Chain A
Amino acid sequence: MGIYSKPVVFAVLSALVILVGTIVTVFIPLFMPSTQPVSPLIKPYTAIELEGRDLYIREGCNNCHTQTVRPLRTEVLRYGEYSKPEEFAYDRPFLWGSRRTGPDLNRIGGKYPDSWHYRHMQSPQGMFEKSNMPPYGWLAENPLDTRYSIKKISVLGYGYSAAEVERQIADYKAKVTAADYDSKETRDQVTPEKLRNDLTEMDAMIAYLQKLGQDVKNLEATK
C-alpha cells in the first residue's frame, strides 16, 4: 500500500476525503438562497437592538437560553409559533443555542412589559425565589457604549444611514427617559441616579429581548 509510506500524498488524500461531506452539506447550502430565505416582513435590528444583542453575546446568554422554537405540540404551547428560517436572515452570529437551562427566548418579545424585564434582570430570585439565573443588575450601572453603532450597522449591511442610526439611538433614549415611559418607576429603581437620563446596557438588552419574535407575526399574517 503505497500511500502509507507517502505522508504528503496521504495528507492530500485525507483532505479530499473530509472535503466531500463538507462541500455537500455545508459549502453548497451556503450558495443556495433557500437555506437562509429573506423576507421583507422581517426587519433588521435597530442600532439599540443590535447593541443589546451584542451584550447578550458578551454575557453568554446563549449558554442557557435557546432561540429556536421547534415544531412540536408542547413547544408551540409553551413558547408560541415555531421558528421560521426568514426570522434569522440578519443574525450574525446565529443564537439558536444548544441547552435550555432557562426557557427559549425566540418568542419573548412583547410577552412582558419592560418593567418586568428590569425587575427580573435586577434580581431573578426576587421574582422567582428558586430561579438559578445569575442577577444582571450591574447592566444598569454601565452606560451604553454606542461609539461603534454606525460602524457595526454598516459592517452588517442593515441599510440604515449614519443619520438613521443616530436617530434610532436618540429616539430610544427619549423613550426610556421620558416622564411618561410606562416602565419609568421600575427603570428608576434599578438605574443609578446619575444614569437615569442616559442609555444603559440594561436598556439595550431589554430593547433586544422585546424585538425577539415580533416580526414573525407579520410573516404569519400573510400566510
Chain B
Amino acid sequence: MSETGYEYRVVRGFAFSALFWLVIGLVVGLWIAFEMFNPALNLTPWLSFGRLRVVHTNGLGLGFGLAGIFATSYYILQRLTRAPLAFPKLALAHLYLFNAAIALAALSLFMGMNTTREYAELEWPLDVGVVILWVMYAINVFGTLLKRQEKQMYISLWYIIAMTVTIAVLYIVNNLAVPVTLFKSYSLYAGANDANVEWWYGHNIVGFIFTVPVLAMFYYFLPKATGLPIYSHRLSIISFWALIFAYLWTGAHHLMLTPLPEWIQTVAIAFSIFLIAPSWGSVVNGYYTLQGNWDQMRSNYLVKFFILGITFYGLQTLQGPLQGLRTLNAFFHYTDWVVGHVHMGTMGWVAMVISASFYYMIPRITGNELHSVKLANMHFWLILGGQLTWTITMWIGGIQQGAMWKATNPDGSLMYNFLDSVTSLYPYYKLRFAAGLVYFVGILIFVYNLVMTVRKRPAEA
C-alpha cells in the first residue's frame, strides 16, 4: 500500500480493534451506571455489578487503551524511524492474539475469575498471555528502532520506550502469584505489602498506559496536524525524565490513612505534588506550540481535540496530587469524587487524543479523505458535553457523600446512616447515566465516521 513498504495493515487492525472494544466497554459502562440507581439490571450472576465493573475497566483499559496505543505506536514508530516494522508478521500475530486474549479476558471476568487487583484482575494463565503479547510488541519496538534510518529519536519514541520497559516491570511484579488451579491463584504478597505492590502498579499502569503513550501521540500528532514544531525541546527533555522518575514513588497516595506504614504514604504525597511540574511541562509545551496560531482552534478540527485533551490532562494532574493530601483525601476518598476524577482523564484526555490521532492517521494509511469533518465536529462536542456533565455530576455527588459521612449531630452522634448517603446520590446517578448516553452517541459517530472513511474506494476520493 505504501511506497516505502510501511506495515499499515496492523495499524489499521489495531485501530479498529480499539474502536470495537471501546463500544463494548462503553455499553458495559452504561449497564453498570444504570445498576447504580436501579439494581434490577443485576439479572444473572454474569451481569451483577461486582463482575461487570471489572469487565468495564479491563475492556476499556486493556481493550480500547492498549489497542489504541499499539495502533498509534506502530504508526509513529515507522514514521519517526523512517523504517518499516522490523517483523511485520510478528506484528500481525500480535494483533490476532491480542484480540483473542481480550475476548478470553472478558469471558473469564464474566465467569468470576478475578484476582481483585485493580486493573490486574486477570487470572494467571491470562497474565502469562499478556506478558507474551508484550514481548511480541517489544521485539518490534526495539527491532525497528535498531534498524532506523533517522539517527535522532524524537520525543514520542522516548515515551514509547519508557512505556515498553515500565509496563513489563509493573505487570510482572504485581501479578506474581501461586497457582492453586488453572483458574485460581493467591498473591505472593500479604496484607499491607500486597496493597503497596498493587497500588504501585495501579497508579503507574494508569501513568504508563493513560499518560506516557498518550503523550507520545500528543507530541507526534499535534505538530503533524498543525504544521507547527513543539515549542521547547529542552522542556520536553526535562518533563520526560522528571515524569518517569517521580511517577513510581506515588502509588501509596491511593492508600492514605490505611494501615500501610505512614512514611510510605508521606513520601507518596511529596512526589505527587512534585509530579505537577513535569505534567504541566507538557501542558505548557502544548499550549505554546499553538502560540500565534490559535486561529487553528477554529479552522482545524483536530486542534480542538488536542488542546481540550491536554487541558483535561492539566486539570487531572492538578486534581490528582491535591486528592492525595491527607486532609482532602480523608474527605474525598472512597466517594464518587474519585470516579469523576478518573473519568475526566479517560473520557477527556485519553479519548480526545486517541480520537484526533485516529482522524489524522486513518485517512493517511488508507489514502482516503476523512468521510466527514462535520461529523468529527459533532463527535467532539458530544463527547465534550457528555464528559463534562458526567464528571462534574460525580464531583458534586462525591462532595455530598463525603459531607454526609462526616456530618454529626450536636451530641456528637452521626447524622446520617450509610443508606441515606447512597440513596441521596440516585439523582446524580441518573444524570450521570444520561451524560454517558450523550458521550456514547458521540463515540458511535466517531466509529461511523472512520468506518465510512476506510470503506470509500480511493478512486472516489
Contact = CB atoms under 8 A, between A and B. Distances in A.
A75 B142 CA distance: 51
Given A18-B245, A134-B50, A99 B190 contact: no
Given A29-B193, A74-B414, A77-B413, A57 B161 contact: no
B48 A14 contact: no
Nearest to B208: A18
Contacts of A131: 39, 419, 422
Interface stretch (A78-86, A109-117, A162-170, A191-199): A78-86
Nearest to B405: A74
Contacts of B188: 92
A14 B255 contact: no
B169 A18 contact: yes
Given A7-B146, A25-B200, A92-B187, 13 more contacts: A7-B153, A10-B158, A14-B161, A14-B162, A17-B245, A18-B165, A20-B248, A54-B184, A60-B53, A74-B414, A94-B191, A128-B419, A131-B39
B192 A36 contact: yes
Interface string A63-105: 1101010111011011000011101111111111111111100
Given A30-B193, A152-B180, A98 B114 contact: no
Contacts, number: 245
A84 to B, nearest CB: 6
Interface stretch (B23-31, B257-265, B316-324, B372-380): B257-265
Contact of A64 (B49, B112, B186, B267): B49
A21 B246 contact: yes
B192 to A, nearest CB: 5
Contacts of B37: 132
A26 B162 contact: no
A99 B180 contact: no
A89 B189 CA distance: 10
A8 B414 contact: no
Interface in B112-129: 112-118
A70 B326 CA distance: 12
A48 to B, nearest CB: 16
Given A71-B257, A101-B36, A94 B198 contact: yes
Given A11-B164, A59-B112, A96-B255, A74 B178 contact: no
B224 interface: no
A21 B257 contact: no
A8 B141 CA distance: 11
Interface stretch (B290-298, B332-340, B383-391): B332-340
Given A21-B248, A72-B330, A34 B186 contact: no
Interface in B259-312: 259-261, 264, 267-268, 271
Of B157, B246, B258, which is in contact with the most chain A CB atoms at under 10 Å from its CB? Answer: B258
A223 interface: no
Contact of A138 (B45, B54, B407): B45
Interface string B369-413: 000000000000000000000000000000000000111100011
Interface residues of A, number: 77
Contact of A10 (B38, B54, B161, B422): B161
A60 B114 contact: yes
B12 interface: no
Give the 6 A-B residue pairs with the shortest CB-CB distance, closest first: A88-B191, A60-B50, A21-B248, A134-B42, A21-B249, A85-B259
Contacts of A17: 241, 244-245
B60 to A, nearest CB: 15
Most chain B beta carbons < 10 A, residue from A24, A85, A94: A94
Contacts of B413: 77
A100 to B, nearest CB: 4
A62 B50 CA distance: 8
Nearest to A89: B191
A92 B176 CA distance: 12
Nearest to A27: B173
Contacts of B9: none
